[in-house]
Amino acid sequence: MNGWLLVDKPVGITSFQAINRFKKLLDVKTGHCGTLDPFASGFLLVALGKATKLVEYAMNFEKNYTFVVKWGVSTDSDDLTGNVVGNCQVIPTKQQIVDKLECFIGEIDQVPPIFSAVKVKGRKAYEYARKGEELILKSKKVYLKKFSLLSHENDLSTFNIVTNKGFYVRALARDFAKSLNTLAHVVELRRNQSGIFENMEMINAEVTKDFLHNNELYDYISSRILPLDYVLDDIPVYDLDLSDAKKLKNGQFVFHQLSLGNDSRVAIKSNNELVALCMYADGYLKPTKTF
């Protein structure tokens, strides 16, 4: 059981809860690429078995979100689960919103919400926030590739964004509202499929409830596991014989002439199975991860 599952996380449960059933059923190590808040729904890329070694790499994919903002009200968590901490009568017009979008596209500074998993002195920020302890988080550089308004009616606006890892949609809503001299918080958030996963079938938690027997669910899930190297679509792949593959798995360097520049990343397969990720330098394959 090594590979990837595309899961549609429902509202109301944590990302851990969303993948826990698969972990128990398949009896395999699991991980996920990018946590979704309990109030959020949508695309969750789940790593099974040896794929957990590639989670860090898979986190680099662009992320696409659709979210709804409620104007005029702020909460301590910057979403609908928090306590109201501010009210404002200013509701921006559609044109005011559109005119401001471009200011946030590109590299921006962003302070994470206090109710987040950002670590400060070994503790997560939300642990301080839940105890009412004062906390000042540092800003960080994040990148917003796309920011568009989908609809605007009364005090609700729907947006779509494309961004990278480490980005907080809740913080964007907070900062965007501030730039329009008002307040806001996120009331709906959904991560959409994007990139190499766009338009692929996801496993819906509601669908899995229809199976009466675990063996039927096991077969259903097994048939939807993507291969281990699926997330390595932008890395050159080379096949080696079993002897050289074994050396790489044991951590040894292997000399092999390839038409690649120094310090190129390479995926090595043998008998159609992923063996290792390597750095190629001076004619040698140097394993960085083995499977």
pLDDT single digits (tens) 203-236 = 986 666 666 567 888 888 889 999 999 999 889 9
Question: Where are the alpha helices (H) located in 5-138, listed in sequence order?
Answer: 15-26, 55-58, 94-101, 125-130
Query: Which class for 223: exposed (0-12), middle (13-18), buried (19 or more C-beta within 10 A)?
Result: exposed
Query: Do 149 and 205 lie in a common domain?
Result: no
85 and 187 both lie in a single domain: yes
Q: Do 19 and 122 share a domain, yes or no? A: no
Tell me: do 19 and 136 sit in the same domain.
Answer: no
Task: Tell me, yes or no, if 99 is annotated catalytic.
Answer: no
Segments in the chain below pLDDT 70: 205-213
Same domain, 252 and 208: no
Say what the pLDDT of residue 210 is.
64
140 and 78 both lie in a single domain: yes
Beta strand pairing call for 140-153 and 156-163: antiparallel
- pLDDT, position 145: 97
213/129 same-domain check: no
What CATH code is carried by the domain that includes residue 284? 2.30.130.10
Let me know whether 99 and 187 are in one domain: yes
* Chosen domain end from 172, 193, 214: 193
| Residue 208 confidence (pLDDT) | 67
- What does the block give as tokens for 28? 């395999």
87 and 29: one domain? no
At residue 11, the pLDDT reads: 95
Residues 120 and 181 grouped into a single domain: yes
Predicted local distance difference test score (pLDDT) of residue 230: 93
What angle (nearest 5°) sits at the alpha carbon of residue 135, between those of residues 101 and 77?
50
CATH number for the domain including 51?
A: 3.30.2350.10
Residue 241 sits in which domain range? Answer: 235-290
User: What total number of domains does the chain contain?
Assistant: 3
Last residue of a domain, one of 206, 228, 250: 228
Where do we find the tokens 């949609």? 169
Among 178, 193, 208, residue at a domain's last position: 193
Catalytic residue among 37, 79, 229, 244: 37
75 and 41 within one domain: no
**Is the domain of 122 the same as that of 56?**
no
In angstroms, rounded to a whole number, what is the distance separating the alpha carbons of residues 76 and 21? 32
Cα–Cα distance, 282 to 260 (Å, whole number): 10
**Which tens digit of pLDDT belongs to each residue from 80-93?**
999 999 999 999 99
Q: Which long-range contacts (CB under 8 A, 24 or more apart) does 52-58 make?
A: 53/289, 53/291, 54/228, 54/231, 54/232, 54/289, 55/31, 57/231, 57/232, 58/4, 58/33, 58/231
- Per-residue confidence (pLDDT) for residue 43, from 0 to 100: 96
